[in-house]
Amino acid sequence: MKLNERSLAFYATCDAPVDNAGFLYKKGGRHAAYHRRWFVLRGNMLFYFEEPGSREPVGVIILEGCTVELVEAAEEFAFAVRFAGARARTYVLAAESQAAMEGWVKALSRASFDYLRLVVRELEQQLAAMRAAGGAAPPRRPSALPPRENGCACAVWSAETPAASPTAPAARPPLPPRRRASAPLAPPDSAPFSRLHEWYGQEVRALRNQWLSSRARP
């Protein structure tokens, strides 16, 4: 299969800011040794070079459709980039520190074009809805009935009755973003509980902050 490799190489080495870069150990094959390579993440392409100054990458891993997970390996700080399908290759990589490993796992799991497109579409819709509603969001007050969508929010909203106001109707608080069935925004499937806990925790913290700041408004 042909691929515009020259353009790919230029994309790998152009002076635009990279999304992540650093040394990683890459396992050659199932029973092969690890090779230390300079990795550069740009968009949904993970390039790897002999060293930082190399003019051309040794290779590239196209990240579309992959999942990233921690693995049990002889090597410390190891993680895997896995693809679906029979006899699909799994790339086992190892970082040089816990922090580096976490940074890479985070960056790689959100690197797909698909994920980015989803976020952009969501923002596009939000902006369009805001413009249709005439700009400013209506004043928000906690309603007596907590929203049913998100069980977590119920604990946060108190049972206080909305302040009597003839002009502004008590508006329901905004619902959290709807979780879509497709993978990119879903929590990591096969992750250990601590990661799931962290993933959901982020969402709860964000909702709570939103609610706290809307309460602070006069």
Partner 1 sequence: MRYNEKELRALSRQPAELAAELGMRGPKKGSVAKRRLVKLVVNFLFYFRTDEAEPLGALLLERCRVAQEEPGGFSISFVEDPERKYHFECCSQEQCEQWTEALRRASYEYMRRSLIFYRNEIQKMTGKDPLEQFGISEETRFQLSSLPRDGLSARVSSRLDELD
In 10 A of CB 24, how many CB atoms?
A: 24
Please say whether the beta carbons of 35 and 28 come within 8 A: yes
The residue (of 126 and 161) whose beta carbon lies closer to partner 1 is: 126
Asked whether position 114 contacts partner 1 by CB under 8 A, the answer is yes
- Please choose, from the candidates 207, 133, 135, the residue with its C-alpha nearest in 3D space to the C-alpha of residue 174: 207
Among 76, 124, 149, 160, binds partner 1 (CB under 8 A): 124
- Please choose, from the candidates 53, 43, 23, the residue with its C-alpha nearest in 3D space to the C-alpha of residue 35: 23
Q: How far is the CB of 150 from partner 1 (least distance, A)?
A: 12
Interface residues for partner 1 in 25-84 (CB under 8 A)?
43-45, 56-62, 64-66, 83-84
SS (H, E, C) 19-48: CEEEEEEEECCCCCCEEEEEEEEECCEEEE
Q: How far is the CB of 164 from partner 1 (least distance, A)?
A: 27
Which range touches partner 1 (CB under 8 A), out of 31-39, 110-118, 146-154, 163-171?
A: 110-118
Q: How far is the CB of 5 from partner 1 (least distance, A)?
A: 5
- Please choose, from the candidates 84, 67, 86, the residue with its C-alpha nearest in 3D space to the C-alpha of residue 187: 67
Q: How far is the CB of 155 from partner 1 (least distance, A)?
A: 19
Tokens of residue 37, six digits: 């390579």
Cα 195 versus chain centre, distance: 13
Among 29, 55, 132, 135, binds partner 1 (CB under 8 A): 135
Interface residues for partner 1 in 143-172 (CB under 8 A)?
none
Please say whether the beta carbons of 195 and 188 come within 8 A: yes
Among 98, 126, 161, 165, binds partner 1 (CB under 8 A): 126
For residue 93, list its beta bridge partners.
26, 79
- Residues of this chain that bind partner 1 (CB under 8 A): 1-11, 14-17, 19, 43-45, 56-62, 64-66, 83-85, 88-89, 107, 110, 112-114, 116-117, 119-120, 123-124, 126-127, 130, 135-137, 176-177, 185, 202-203, 206, 209-210, 213
